[in-house]
Amino acid sequence: MKETRHLLPRLALSPGRAEQGARCLPEEVAVALSFNGTTQAVMLASPSDLEDFATGFALTEGFARPEDIESLTPVETPRGIDLQIWLRPEAEARLAARRRRMAGPVGCGLCGIDSLEEALRPPPPVEGGLRLAAGDCLAAVAGLTDHQPLHDATRAVHAAGFWMPGQGLVTVREDVGRHNALDKLAGALLRQGVAADRGAVVLTSRVSIDMVQKCTRLGAPILIAVSAPTAHAVRMADEAGLTLVGLARGERCEVFTHPHRITPDEAAHVA
């Protein structure tokens, strides 16, 4: 498999000083997701955890679960990596009905969707009785810093993690694209048999509507992010019953939807 990082030369400039050296940078490759012989999407992604990526993408895009996947083979090509996935007939029919054509650059999760209705499709309802303290939300975000080796080396990738009460962060995935990191996390949880309604998704990125859609497809009742959500993401999370926590940094976080799942505590200093 391709390397996830490379050491490249650079010139560091500061007042009165120029320093030759090198910087570790993350690799970014074209990854084609081909289902039953047809390319469904081409994403620019980090070349790691690709089976998780394909499995999570199929779930969060709404057409296949792990049991629908008959085989999954990463094939390296001179131009990138072709993830060749074969689905059962019923899942292939759902995929055809989605009418989704996508070429996804980093940071864009809606490129190529051919209708406004598809881009803004209602998320599935989220259920589950999970309750967290505000301090749990802050601990989940703080814990991500200890589980990001690629970010530590490059300072240029996103992370998505899954936090469970009494266990902390049980799974973390990294990628140059925030959507890809979330898809990889979803795939990892599915393949590990972890029930998403037992914990919270934690993101290093902002929360847009497609991140809410992916999280609700996974079935997690709480989404925690270090940055703020968009207004439409808040409306969509509210509609789906998803508890959306943003701006979780230091000793403070903000709960935008369904606050009944989050209990204030001293660690959060909530006024």
Whole-Å CA distances, 267 to 124, 134, 187, 252: 32, 7, 32, 8
Asked whether 119 and 109 are in contact (CB, 8 A), the reply is no
What is the CA angle 244-249-255, rounded to 5?
25
Match 């969509």 to its residue by tokens. 236
Structure tokens at 197: 């309604």
Amino acid, single-letter form, for residue 80: G
Residues paired with residue 24 on neighbouring β-strands, in sequence order: 7
Quick one: which H or E segment has residue 201? strand 200-203
- How far is residue 158's CA from residue 225's CA, in Å, rounded to a whole number? 11
Rg (CA), the chain: 19
Residues paired with residue 18 on neighbouring β-strands, in sequence order: 13
- How far is residue 183's CA from residue 52's CA, in Å, rounded to a whole number? 7
Q: Catalytic residues, which ones?
A: 108
